[in-house]
Every structure is written in C-alpha cells, then in structure tokens.
Structure 1
Amino acid sequence: MTPSTATVGSLLRSIAGILGASGIESPDVDAELLVGHVLGLGRGEVQAAAVTDRPVTDADSAAIAILAERRAHREPLQHILGRAAFRSLSLAVGPGVFVPRPETEQVVQFAIDALRSVPDPEPIGIDLGTGSGAIALAMATEVPNARIFAAENSVDAFIWARQNFTETAVPNATLVFDDLAGAFAELDGQASVVISNPPYVPDAAIPRDPEVRLFDPAAALYGGEDGLDVVRQLSQTAARLLRPGGTLVIEHGELQGEAIRGILTGDGWRAAATFRDLTQRDRTTTAIRG
C-alpha cells in the first residue's frame, strides 16, 4: 500500500481554500479546528504540526475531508465539532438548539455585573429561553454565590441544555422545562436579574448567513411580524419575577433598541437603555423594575 503523502500543512491549505471559496469568513481558523478535531490536537498543536509538516494517515485524511465538505456546505462548525465555546465554557450543541454567539458573551456580562452588585448574599438570576444553557451556566459559574434558574420550552433545545447542565455540574443552577409566561411563579418578586436572548427576527426577514437560515431552529429565531412578540411577553414575565430595583437584560437585533425601550417604558420599567456590542451595533437593552 502506498504511504499517504498528505501532511497537516497541505491539508490546512487545501481545506482553507475550499472553505474560503464557499464564503466562510474564517477559513484558516475553521480548517485548523477541523483538522485538530480529527487528530485530537488543539489549534496551537495543529499550527506546530503544520510547521513540521507532520504526515497524516489516509484514514484521518478521509475523515477530515468529510468534515470539510460538511463545513463547505455551510453546516455550522459547532454542529460538526459537537461543541461551542462560550466564555469559559465548552457546551454541547447540535441540531435543534441555537448555537451561542460571541456577541452574547458581552450581553451576559450585564447580568453578571448586576448579580455581583446585589448586596443579597444569594441573589437570584433567571434566564428565560435558555437554549443550550449558555447564559445561565455562565452566570452560575462566574457568580457562584448566586442562585440561577433557567427555563426552556423546546424539547430539542431542552435536551441539549440538560446535557450541558449535567456536564457543568454547578450546584447553584436549576433547569426546568417551562414556557415564558408561567415560568418560576414560586420566585415572583424575588429575582435580582432576569435575562433573555429571545427570538427577535421578524417573520418576513431572511437571515443572511446560511448557518443561521438553514440550521438554527425557527423557534429560536422568529419573533412575530416585527420580531418583538416574545419581548412583549418577556416584559410582563420579568416584571412579575423581579424585585423592585431588579435588572432586566435583553439581547436583540441592531435596529430594535428604540422599539424595545418604548415597550419597556410603556410597561412601567425605569431607565431603559441600549448598549452596543464590539462591532458597534445595538445589541443589549437593560431596564430597572420600578
């Protein structure tokens, strides 16, 4: 049998070229992660192996080629790897659950800061529509004195969230299967922070990225004619759950800040304010319960 002539360097160059031609924004990074996934190497180790032109077996080359083809068809990298990085966490993700985004890492910081500022030795934080559990688990791990509660009403997403709660095994985090309107009635008036990354895409809008349009669950994307139906319910539920002076944190689209501030102010919230993400797009609106 003829020995394989493939090396880590040649595979990286080939895959990056294929992914770049498919419109992937970070083809070099994705290529390194795909090769590392098959070879059991971190990105730094892959880069070192490329420099030394480490050979790759035919079997590994074939496995890498299959993954590269999936990514070239715009299947999310996180689905292929089965994991998504979020702050300090590595979360299990796949079909049926919204893949957590880097911009949400900044959104959850507002909730973490609010929890840390509360004089209560065990403040309560609630994540409504937790999806993979990313927001709730970030709060629970980074504010260990807080009690964190998360609700999800999609069966498919709940399965992923339950896996991540089990893997993370933080004792201060509780996951329940419940809808937005009725969640955590036993905690009414007790929460210090309520946070949500609700579905906010208008029903008629078509997400630009194929990874979102073709693979993210519709229930996690679309929020009615103007995209804000769930935000309106969230305003009511959060007002029920929060104590006076408690903080509401909402992630949303870049053109929705003004409308959301109007909804919240009309519902009696105080100090509604919108903040930009690292790309200078409106991303987070916060408000204080009166």
Structure 2
Amino acid sequence: MERKTHDAHVEDAVHALGRSGAVMAPRAEAEALAAHVFGAPVDSLPPGTEPGDESATRFQALVARRGEGVPLGYLTGRAALSGIEVEVGPGVFVPMIVSEATLASGLKAIADNPAPTVVDLCTGSGAFALAVAHHTPGARVHAVELDQAALDYARRNSARRTALGDTPIVLHQADVTRPLTLAELDGTVDLVLSSPPYTPDEAPVPAEFGVHQPRDAVFGGPDGLRVTRHVVETAARLLRPGGTLVIEHGPFHAESVPGLLRADERFEDVSDHPDAYVGHPLYAQATRSRPGPSTNRRA
C-alpha cells in the first residue's frame, strides 16, 4: 500500500466523494470519517504522520461505502442534532442536519414554559425527544415509535442521555395512524414535534434514502402524506389550546401540509418555513385554536 499522510488520505477521500455525486459536503464528510477511523480530527494530528495500514484500509473502505450512498451515520454509528449525539445504524432513520431548524422552532415555542409537556411522534432514534429533554430539563417528554428496531435505538439513546444527566423521556411503542394514541394526554400537551415519513412512494430519491434507510421511515404513501394526516389529527387531539405543532415535510409539500392545517379549524396561526441551507420548504407550524371563533389565520 502506498504510504500517505493522514492529510493526503483525506484529500483523496474528498475527491472520491465529490466524484460519487452521493455527498453534498465531501470535505466535511471525509473529515468526519477520518476522525472516526484515526481517532481524532486530522488537523489535530502531528503534521506529516501516516496512519497504519489497517487504519488506512478501513478508511478507504468507509469512503467507498459512503460514495455508494450508505449514510454517514451508519458508517460512524452516530449522528448529532442540536448539541446531542445519538447512536444510529441500519434499521433506523439518521437525523438530518436540516432538522435543526424544525427542532429550534419547537424549542422556541416552549422557551417560556419551565415544565412543558412535549410529544415527539415518529421519534425514530429519539433525537428530537432527547434534544428537547437536554435543552429543557423541566420538560415531560413522550416519544412514540412503532418500529421495533428504531425503538431499540431510541431506548439505548435514552439510557445513555439519562446517564449523562439529561431528563429521562418516556418511550411508547405505538402506531400514530391508530386512533387514540396517547389518549391519556389529550388536551394537555404544550408541543407536538414530528418528522414523519413524507416522501411520495414513487419519488426519485438518492440511494442514501431510497436504498439504505428503512423504507417505512422514508416513504409516506402515494402523495407522501399518509402518516402526516394522522399526525395532524393526533396533534389536534393532544394539544392544549395555545399549544404548538411543528411538523417536518418535504419540499413537495409546501402547500399541501399547511393546507391540511388550515382546513382543520382546530388550528390557527399556520405558517411554513424553509431549511437554513438551500431554502427548500422544510416544516409547518401551527397553534391549537383557543376557545372562541377560530381565525385560522396565516402567520
């Protein structure tokens, strides 16, 4: 094997990932893989040092798999969201960096409430729920997930975050498409967060989403709204008057998801928001109507 410095391996990886077309940020991902394999950020290693043959071979193999669309989180075993890290791997959807904006809006909605009740529907790895518990220590956070593999990740992540001192969350194995999920919380919840599967079944998507991640966590029926409709219904039931729903959706749902909310007189102050990176429509937000005539107005 040709001897190369850590820096040279990273440069080769940047070019390989760029050529693959599977990665939006080749340098950032090459550096993330290098830190994972070499045990430290490359810029913190002594200049001119060379990795051992075993590490170099492993790094090259991971770069090749990333170029094939295998999610970065599956290769490193972890993903970060809003200051926390969660374990991920095959069988669970990897939290996306764009979801920082969705989460931030939810946290802003409960910022003045020292002890909010929060529900995360379709929690997957538990990232949203655990981030809320981390940033709002007084929160009572419930997280709902149907898939057993994803729920196992959420349980491990919850146990790890609790051991680190975060407020414990309550995990529920339940189907958000079934009536009366979490019925015991009806009318008491301050914030519902959700990133349901929302990609239309026949939509072309990169292999990272269409091949490697769980289909049920990515695709949401012919129009992508099969689960979303149930999330809206469940949120309307769970939220107290004045409570907030923040729901993630695809760029193809900039009109349809806000439209669902405006058509439901139990919601008002409906708005839609882009991601912070390329400006694509990302999430909708609405308030549970307060007593009296609903304005169902647009924010």
| TM-score (norm. length: structure 2) | 0.89
Q: Percent identity?
A: 37
Q: Which amino acid aligns with 2:226?
A: D
1:31 Cα deviation after fit: 2.1
Residues 158 and 168, structure 2, Cα contact 8 Å, conserved in 1:
no
Work out the CA distance in 2 between the residues paired with 1:132 and 1:28.
26
The aligned residue for residue 34 of structure 1 is 33
Match of 2:230 among 233, 253, 258: 233
Deviation at 1:233, TM superposition (A): 0.9
Q: What pairs up with 1:204-283 in 2 under 5 angstroms? A: 204-207=202-205, 209-268=206-265, 269-278=267-276, 279-283=278-282
Equivalence for 2:293:
none
Q: CA deviation at 1:27?
A: 2.3
Q: Which one has the bigger helix percentage?
A: 1
Q: 2:199 aligns with which of 183, 190, 201?
A: 201
**CA RMSD after TM alignment:** 1.7
Query: Shift of the alpha carbon at 1:13?
Result: 2.3
Aligned to 2:296: none
SS in structure 2 at match of 1:248: strand
Corresponding letter in the other structure for 1:263: L
The separation in 1 between residues aligned to 2:185 and 2:12, in whole angstroms, is 55
Distance 1:123 1:38, change over 3 A: same
CA offsets 1:257-286 (integer angstroms, 9 cap, x no match): 321222122221112111122122221111
Q: 1:88-145 CA distances to partner (integer Å, 9 max, x unpaired)? A: 0111001111110111111011111111234xx4210100000111111111111111
Q: 1:172 to 1:163 in 2, by over 3 A?
A: closer
Q: Does 1:285 align with 2:281?
A: no
Compute the displacement of 1:64 (Å).
1.7
Shift of 1:147: 0.8
| Structure 1 residue aligned with 2:131 | 138
- How far apart in 1 are the matches of 2:257 and 2:151? 27
Superposition deviation, residue 238 in structure 1 = 0.8
- AA paired with 2:90? P
Deviation at 1:9, TM superposition (A): 2.1
CA contact (8 A) 1:4 1:56 kept: no
Instruction: Supply the AA of the counterpart residue of 1:212.
Output: F
Query: Which segment is superposed worse, 78-87 or 261-270?
Result: 261-270
Q: Which residue of 2 aligns with 1:178?
A: 174
3-state SS of 1:273 partner: strand
CA distance in 2, matches of 1:136, 1:184: 15
Inter-partner Cα distance in structure 2 for 1:173 and 1:221: 24
1:21 to 19, 22, 44: 19
**SS of match in other structure, 1:33:** helix
> How far apart are residue 4 of structure 1 and its match?
7.3
Q: How many residues align?
A: 281
TM-aligned CA deviation for residue 48 of structure 1: 4.0
For residue 62 of structure 1, what is the aligned residue in structure 2?
A: 57
3-state secondary structure, aligned to 1:179:
coil
1:80: Cα distance to partner? 0.4
Secondary structure, counterpart of 2:64 in structure 1 = helix
CA deviation vs aligned residue, 1:22-61 (integer Å, no higher than 9, x gap): 12332222222222212211x3xx12437x1112212222
CA distance in 1, matches of 2:254, 2:11: 42
Contact 2:210–2:218 (Cα < 8 Å) also in 1: no
Given that 2:189 and 2:243 are in contact with CA atoms closer than 8 Å, whether structure 1 keeps it comes out as: yes
Measure the CA separation in 2 of the matches of 1:26 and 1:156: 29
Equivalent residue, structure 2, for 1:111: 106
Give secondary structure in 2 for the equivalent of 1:249. strand
